Structure 1
Amino acid sequence: MRIEHVAIWTGDLERLKRFYTKYFNCIAGNKYRNESNDFESYFLSFDNRARLELMRMPSIPNNLNDPKIQYEGIIHIAISVGSKENVVEITEKLRSDEYTIVSEPQTTGDGYFESCVLDSDGNRVEITV
């Protein structure tokens, strides 16, 4: 078994798509649109077959959680970028583009080398080897 995809609601579909395609080299499929309920989405594909679905529908309310505080439930996605050097490089690129760095590149107690950033919607993304 494997996780097929994870989905994220967003108020700005194009902005979030640009974030993941620019920094993590995802390939965006064609935009799906359902005119009857104003739903639209993209599937973004990673090179290992994992996918991220980005969805927008005006009737979905904003997330009221503070992205800088941990809480119960799904709290982050982790994206493997292949090397420590890539973790540092992507983190620095995000910093220079004024994204929030939640944690600097470091080796964690369980042996991961990672950083954590907020995407354009404030979702936590761990960047790991």
Structure 2
Amino acid sequence: MHIEHIAIWVRDLERMRKFYEMYFGATSNDKYVNSSKGFSSYFLTFPQGGPRLELMQMPGITDLANQGFTQYIGLAHLALSVGSEDVVDTLTNRLRSDGNVVIGEPRRTGDGYYESVILDPEQNRVEITV
């Protein structure tokens, strides 16, 4: 058994797709549209494999109180492995210089991970790890 995909409701489907493609090398499928429900989605596949990420949009979906800096019960973060500590550092700096919010500088955690934490365009926490 394995996790096949994780889904996130988003406000701006195209912006979120471009973010994960640009910074994490994700490849998107063709946009799926169910016009009767107003539902649209993309499945993103990452170069190193693992579960896919489904980005979904539909009118009437209620916003969570997700503010990025504050933690809530539920999905806490998405962790994406980039292969090395150097890539963690380089990508974190690139994201910062492009105007994205870094809320956790690159560091070795108590459980042995080397990671940084950024917010995606819709304030979801993304751990960038080896």
TM range (shorter): over 0.9
Asked if 1 retains the 8 angstrom alpha-carbon contact of 2:66 and 2:124, the reply is no
Supply the distance in 2 between the matched residues of 1:11 and 1:72 (Cα, whole angstroms).
Answer: 21
Where structure 2 has 5 or more consecutive residues not aligned to the other structure, the ranges are: none
Q: Which residue is equivalent to 1:78?
A: 79
Task: Report deviation, 1:67.
Answer: 1.5
Q: Which moved more, 1:42-51 or 1:9-18?
A: 42-51
Aligned residue number for residue 99 of structure 1: 100
Task: Kindly provide the amino acid, as one letter, of the partner of residue 96 in structure 1.
Answer: S
Q: Deviations over 1:62-88 (max 9, x none)?
A: 222322012221110100000000000
TM-score after normalising by structure 2: 0.96
Q: How far, CA to CA, are the matches of 1:30 and 1:111 in structure 2?
A: 38
Q: How well do the aligned residues superpose, as a CA RMSD in angstroms?
A: 0.9
Q: 2:118 is matched with which residue?
A: 117
How far, CA to CA, are the matches of 1:57 and 1:108 in structure 2? 37
Give the letter for the 1:115 counterpart: S
Give the Cα separation in 2 of the matches to 1:94 and 1:67.
16
What corresponds to 1:6 in structure 2? 6
Structure 2 counterparts to residues 31-110 of structure 1, below 5 A: 31-47=31-47, 48-110=49-111
Deviations 1:15-52 (A, max 9, x none): 00011000000000000000101100000001214200
Runs of 4+ with >4 A deviation: none
Matched AA of 1:56: Q
Cα distance between partner residues in 2 of 1:30 and 1:20: 15
Look up the equivalent residue of 2:77 and give its one-letter code. Answer: H
Distance 2:24 2:114 in 1: 17
Equivalence for 1:23? 23
Report the more deviating stretch, 94-103 or 46-55.
46-55
How many positions carry a matched residue from both structures? 129
